[in-house]
Amino acid sequence: MTRLFFLHVPILLLWTLFKLVEGTDSSYHDQVVRDFLKEDQGSGHTNNWAVLVCSSRYWFNYRHMANTLGMYRTVKRLGIPDSNIILMLADDVSCNARNRFPASVYSNGRRNLDLYGENIEVDYRGYEVTVENFLRLLTGRVEPSVPRSKRLLTDEKSNVFVYMTGHGGAEFLKFQDNEEISAFDIADAFEQMWQKKRYHEIFFMIDTCQANTMYSKFYSPNILATGSSELGESSYSYENDADIGVAVIDRYTHLVLSYLENINKTSRSTMQQLFDAYDFNRMRSHAGVRTDLFKRDPSKVLLTEFFGGIAQADIVAAEDVIDAQRFVDQSSSGRVALNLQQAAERGEVTAILPQGLVLARNLDNFTRTWVGAVCIMVLITLSYFLG
């Protein structure tokens, strides 16, 4: 009986140790997954959209089209797909007979980057860019015949970046040089969007003369706004190209794009850091920011929450362990997606996260195997001495 007692006690202790390791392991990784999913819930949005508007026509307004295309290139680079970008260009200077570089648009005299490129998708062009179409786009009041590519298919979980550039004045912006949109029009459109649950948060940016007056009439919640110049101020061009013959970009937009060029999809740079980068000596105007309608602190709002895409995470049940590094190593060969899919079908993956990171439910097979091996070795040793 004594030998049997001394044999049972170690067995129970070892079994308890094994279950503790397994339970702690599982709880730890479940918590890791929960923490990851809660990490960016400060905003609570699930998708990002961009509405980019060049409202100016004619060759001498070349810079306004370059402004808009520069912003288009940036939001695409940071992860917003074309399906979530509405691009409105009132003129096509790339095909203008005076363009010495046909089918191209440049924003600096070195001409090292063609903003027009081969992968541009213009949703509204030429005479389609009107005040009516812009307001219908925002509010969703479009004709049934309008294709999906020309619709702003947002919902209450959408963050919307609205960028506008052109010629303006106190509380108005010109469209096509023959009609105007007022600050009241945009404010009422945003209110309709809020009432119809068409946005979660809006970031409004405008580059025009007296730009800050364009957001002065906003009254809907969750709107962060910024502009290039105060009441009575002009918004100036930045650089001329002697071969093109006109200014190719505005100072305010050039500063913003230069700042955004230094961030990537995983950047932790905030809105406040962008606003702090505003420099009168570079812009020659006083850029403004309005935050009273926005419930969050701009210093805690990432730029990528409006300029970037949203990475999705899929959760599947799992009991077994998967080697995350194996998938990361294979990602460059193009096999990672297939491996992740197969692993999910086998029930091996707990969470598939961005950048190919895979979290497993249990710590690793190595740990569990060695705990089991130690238990067996101890039992064999006890049996030998007690036998």
Q: What is the pLDDT along the chain (387 residues), one digit of tens a residue?
A: 555 555 555 565 556 655 555 555 555 555 655 555 555 455 688 999 999 999 999 999 999 999 999 999 999 999 999 999 999 999 889 899 999 999 999 998 889 899 998 889 999 999 999 999 999 999 999 999 999 999 999 999 999 999 999 999 999 999 998 999 999 999 999 999 999 999 999 999 999 999 999 999 999 999 999 999 999 999 999 989 999 999 999 999 999 999 999 999 999 999 999 999 999 999 999 999 999 999 999 999 999 999 998 866 555 544 444 555 554 455 444 444 444 445 444 444 444 444 444 444 444 454 555 556 666 666 666 665 655
Residue 223, classed as helix, strand or coil, is: strand
CA 94 to chain centre: 28
CA-CA-CA-CA dihedral for 340, 343, 347, 353, to nearest 10: -20
Cβ neighbours of residue 220 under 8 Å, at least 6 residues apart? 187, 190, 191, 193, 194, 202, 293
**Out of 209, 254, 286, 375, which one is annotated catalytic?**
209
Answer whether 203's CB lies under 8 Å from 51's CB. no
* Tokens 């949203």, located at residue: 310
Instruction: Find the DSSP H helices in the chain.
Output: 2-38, 62-77, 131-139, 183-195, 251-260, 271-276, 280-283, 304-307, 324-330, 336-345, 365-386
Angle between helix axes 131-139 and 183-195 (nearest 10 degrees) is: 20
Alpha-carbon distance 9 to 49, whole Å?
Answer: 63
Whether 167 sits among the annotated catalytic residues: the reply is yes
Residue 300, classed as helix, strand or coil, is: helix
Q: Give pLDDT, residue 7.
A: 54
Closest CA to 111 of 305, 241, 261: 241
Sign of the alpha-carbon dihedral angle for 85, 88, 89, 95: positive
CA distances from 131 to 105, 177, 318 (A): 25, 11, 53
Answer whether 105's CB lies under 8 Å from 93's CB. yes
Helices and strands per DSSP (H, E), number in the chain: 11, 15
Residue 289, classed as helix, strand or coil, is: strand
Closest CA to 247 of 59, 104, 27, 373: 59
Tokens (6 digits) for 195: 């009432």
CA-CA-CA-CA dihedral for 118, 123, 126, 128, to nearest 10: 170
Whether 209 sits among the annotated catalytic residues: the reply is yes
Q: Give pLDDT, residue 129.
A: 97
pTM recorded for the entire structure: 0.75
**Out of 64, 167, 200, 254, which one is annotated catalytic?**
167
Alpha-carbon distance 39 to 201, whole Å?
Answer: 18
Q: Give pLDDT, residue 184.
A: 98
Tokens (6 digits) for 208: 């025009």
